[in-house]
Structure 1
């Protein structure tokens, strides 16, 4: 099983399949991440608000893996937006992770009513210029939020991490990403399981002797999305990694894409403030 590296617009690369720790209990995080690293995952995605950066860092330290072999992402929480508070929050996250340099730092939500993400992004640019983070990006940004950064003449984000799955294909936003060389990361890639019983998914699972979860992850991979399913179950952690062995046909990809109904399972970035 081989995980592809996706090139980013700043010259770095990111493993396309990773392991996410959203909603994993802090007490269970280290064991889950250690299992993921044992299986072969080399991309870890956490956030301050998940309260488990410490477990991710502990697992990484216990793994014995070379630091440069594992790609680590964390995110700035909404209450920490603003120039100076961003720099302080970054230091705190790095202390919890036990790292000197971060691979990717994301603004977690645009929080449009607060209107702080431009100043926040300037702090991100400083962290990158100082060599403390290799790549900077955003999460849950809409087209108008990304355009605002471009209009301000600021660095184009390397990635935008968005809710994305067969029931919410985000075609217009993904087209904007492609136009500006912004990589698309998908959170809630399985729609919290809501798309696993769709007929197009079940048909492809039967055809490839795969699980529905593997099929949906393979759908993401085939479209170039960066994806990081989460689980605390060792068998599921291994099964998800097996998605790299599932090669869907164009017809199967189109059938799964046709599930789209613009249906979210998470918050709307237009209203989350």
Structure 2
């Protein structure tokens, strides 16, 4: 099932990952996912499960270098020294010498704090603790701060993204600037009762979650579906080798409610 996308810095990243938010005991979920074809785990310090991610990866039987692991620094640590300390702790928690991708978790904190944290991550990359640096919950104006500061642009922006909240201005900006868009909450936290989703699940003989993940992939996003249930983890990955027809993609596209469709904190417009 492994498909990859090339980041702007030349590294490759899988096009599907397992999210581990609200799963503090995620070692088994990570192991199951990796043993069933996943090659990316999306974590964060805020989730308090970096150690569990490392355990799951270690127990999977797959080599560390074949797995793409992400974490994020939370805005409470957005100083240069605070971010650097958080990064070092994250690496120790994982039990590996590096992360494949490390993000600033949100745009909360103000411009100076965001840039201080981002600079620390770039220095962490220079020292080998990170292979790629990105952002999460950033709008175009927050990323432009990075450009204006003369810093290396992020390779990824991770935002809430699904048919009801399509983040069109952010997606357009990221596409123009060769920034890959990762989609968190691609399953709308299990809110599958929409008639369009139900119709297409029946038409394609797929689970509603598979329809949502497939939509994300066909739109060029990198979805990060979350589950702790082995059968759902496996099902959520069975989204390759088939396509949603253009007319049906258009039906899903038409569900967009903009910011009103968000189901999480979605802090993309903070100052």
Query: TM-score scaled by structure 1?
Result: 0.95
Instruction: Measure how far apart 1:117 and its partner are.
Output: 0.6
- Contact 2:35–2:61 (Cα < 8 Å) also in 1: no
Provide the alpha-carbon RMSD of the alignment.
1.5
Q: Quick one: distance in 2 between partners of 1:245 and 1:260?
A: 26
Partner of 1:166: 163
Larger mean CA deviation between 175-184 and 56-65 belongs to 56-65
Instruction: Measure how far apart 1:197 and its partner are.
Output: 2.0
Q: Quick one: distance in 2 between partners of 1:60 and 1:144?
A: 36
Change (3 A) 1:60 1:264: same
Q: Deviations over 1:161-214 (max 9, x none)?
A: 0010111001111000011000000011111122x2222222221221101110
Stretches (4+) displaced over 4 A = 270-273
Name the SS of the counterpart of 2:53 in structure 1: helix
Match of 2:102 among 105, 108, 116: 105
Partner of 1:266: 264
Query: TM-score scaled by structure 2?
Result: 0.95
Partner of 2:66: 69
- Contact 1:218–1:248 (Cα < 8 Å) also in 2: yes
Larger mean CA deviation between 245-254 and 76-85 belongs to 245-254
Change (3 A) 1:172 1:63: same
| 2:148 matches 1:151 | yes
Instruction: Measure how far apart 1:246 and its partner are.
Output: 3.5
- Contact 1:46–1:75 (Cα < 8 Å) also in 2: yes
- Contact 1:20–1:45 (Cα < 8 Å) also in 2: yes
- Contact 1:208–1:246 (Cα < 8 Å) also in 2: no
Instruction: Measure how far apart 1:272 and its partner are.
Output: 6.7
| 2:203 matches 1:204 | no
Q: Quick one: distance in 1 between partners of 2:59 and 2:212?
A: 31
Change (3 A) 1:39 1:120: same
| 2:89 matches 1:92 | yes
Match of 2:215 among 200, 216, 219: 219
Partner of 2:53: 56
Instruction: Measure how far apart 1:3 and its partner are.
Output: 2.8
Aligned residue pairs: how many?
269
Partner of 2:15: 16
- Contact 1:229–1:240 (Cα < 8 Å) also in 2: yes
Partner of 2:137: 140
Q: Deviations over 1:31-78 (max 9, x none)?
A: 111111111111001000101111100111122211111000000011
Partner of 2:33: 36
- Contact 1:8–1:183 (Cα < 8 Å) also in 2: yes
Partner of 1:256: 252
Instruction: Measure how far apart 1:128 and its partner are.
Output: 1.3
- Contact 2:104–2:134 (Cα < 8 Å) also in 1: yes
- In the alignment, structure 2 segments of 5+ residues that lack a partner are none
- Contact 2:155–2:180 (Cα < 8 Å) also in 1: yes
Q: Quick one: distance in 1 between partners of 2:242 and 2:194?
A: 18
Instruction: Measure how far apart 1:112 and its partner are.
Output: 4.2
